[in-house]
Chains A and B, each alone.
Chain A
């Protein structure tokens, strides 16, 4: 398969996972790589299962969906229960411990981080939990550079929200750094 990473960002509708996927894919392109982003969601504006999938690589990407993610973000218990067993061997699960309490044994790493709680308590807006998650995923996996991620983020958020988003990304980055010595 060559140099190819498959990510699935999963949780509940309204958590901003599809936007997170778009920003991740955009960042990869800014890094000069090939990427593709697809999604699966229900008809609800909020609630229901939601997931975004991103494939990052150097080669032509045919099948745009992710079967066995190398990187799995779970931001709800339901998503964790549903997708944990799909994890590719040696992959990593990044779990939002705010909502995910039970994690199964997997053939890979598990990293539990209080993503939504951090967004709520330290930014004051749980809405930016997706950006906290992006910072953490990027720090843990290294699939995109921080510079490209910041650029992509700034290009795809509403004007006037730059500061809280920048802060959220930084918090996610830090969370992963602490987590990588503590939890992992």
Chain B
């Protein structure tokens, strides 16, 4: 047996996300278990105490989100996991974390909704909620895996991005990937890049909690290390104290967005297949990218110039890449387990330069390769 075969193991998507978060240094989890994300809480409950971390089962998702914000301010990389109904309850505090610039990661393993929907059935109905679920013009990063290995890698990346840009990051999974078990070979610890938050070099008396340097991201001072400052969801100045000054409020909000805007190259990741000469592009993410990949392979066997474009970073939207697709392709097909939430964004960027077609399912079942292939065949006929 080769070494690779020995290291290969059967692993579940939720398990991989939990392991990835732990590998990235997460040592605090607060949550309220909910199908289909429960395995994350189970694994954290078992693993964290052994690693010197803490697991708390909270009374609800509002409190879970509050707890991970508190833990993060005290300097510990923090995570929660939920599904649609819990994600709704977390929204207010996700906005707080964005405004107060608190690094934290929220895993949302999407299930069929709205409301409690079908708890054990997959959906991709929270794509827009991940973007706009909390009020106000907040920045957001949402990453979306299509395999068990990717759930691991993107969990690591979510923690890194949260620490680097001081903000909540959403790992947007779905029931298919969360519950899927497949063969994986995980990277060894020395292959994993770990990013830690930048801490201030200033003495407590000279420290301004929200004074950004040239990076746009203020260095942090962890609570309990002698630094005293105010953390609020209100608009605030460099000290962290509330302000109603229009100029200060606006410059804060613009800086929060600029953190992402000037770092898109670092934040946006994507994957593609057979895209070079593709006239029909299937744009798919999460579990739906898997039947999409099979459909594209089958189309190629039939000599159809089809390709797959797969954003792993759903938010911020990969405008430059989709713009390129709009100039290249005749048609862009967007299969989703929702009624076209991401398609709307694609259309907004394509602006009529290519036709944009949806393949949609909201019955709690994964879209089949044949349905996507059918859509491809209809465009080229």
Contact = CB atoms under 8 A, between A and B. Distances in A.
B291 interface: yes
A32 B4 CA distance: 10
B35 interface: yes
A43 B291 contact: no
B10 A65 contact: no
Interface string B355-373: 0000000000010110000
Contact of A63 (B119, B182, B369): B369
Given A25-B10, A43-B120, A63 B294 contact: yes
B297 interface: yes
A29 B8 contact: yes
Given A29-B9, A37-B10, A64 B180 contact: yes
A37 B180 contact: yes
Interface in B165-180: 176, 179-180
A32 B5 contact: yes
User: Among B10, B176, B179, B368, which residue has the most Cβ atoms of chain A within 10 A?
Assistant: B10
Interface in B325-381: 366, 368-369
A147 interface: no
B281 to A, nearest CB: 17
B290 interface: yes
A48 B289 CA distance: 30
Contacts of B183: 29, 34-36
Contacts of B5: 32
B177 to A, nearest CB: 9
A42 B120 contact: yes
Contacts, number: 57
B1 interface: yes
A147 to B, nearest CB: 13
Contacts of A62: 290-291, 293-294, 297, 369
A20 to B, nearest CB: 13
A63 B5 CA distance: 23
Interface residues of B, number: 23
A25 B181 contact: yes
Interface residues of A, number: 21
B179 A38 contact: yes
A26 B119 CA distance: 26
A22 interface: yes
Given A42-B120, A62-B297, A64-B290, A32 B1 contact: yes
A61 interface: yes
A51 to B, nearest CB: 12
B369 A43 contact: no
User: Among B119, B120, B176, which residue has the most Cβ atoms of chain A within 10 A?
Assistant: B120
Interface string B275-287: 0000000000001
B10 A29 contact: yes
Interface in B105-144: 119-120
Given A29-B9, A43-B119, A37 B290 contact: no
Contacts of A83: none
A12 interface: no
A36 B182 contact: yes
Nearest to B372: A63
B279 to A, nearest CB: 21
A61 B369 CA distance: 12
Contacts of B120: 40-43
B119 A35 contact: no
A38 B294 contact: no
Nearest to A64: B180
Contacts of A38: 176, 179-181
19 contacts: A22-B10, A25-B181, A26-B10, A29-B8, A29-B10, A29-B183, A32-B5, A35-B182, A35-B183, A36-B180, A36-B182, A36-B183, A37-B10, A37-B180, A38-B179, A62-B293, A64-B176, A64-B180, A64-B287
Given A34-B183, A37-B182, A62-B293, 13 more contacts: A25-B181, A29-B8, A35-B10, A37-B181, A38-B176, A43-B35, A62-B290, A62-B369, A64-B182, A64-B287, A64-B366, A65-B366, A67-B368
Interface of A: 22, 25-26, 29, 32, 34-43, 61-65, 67
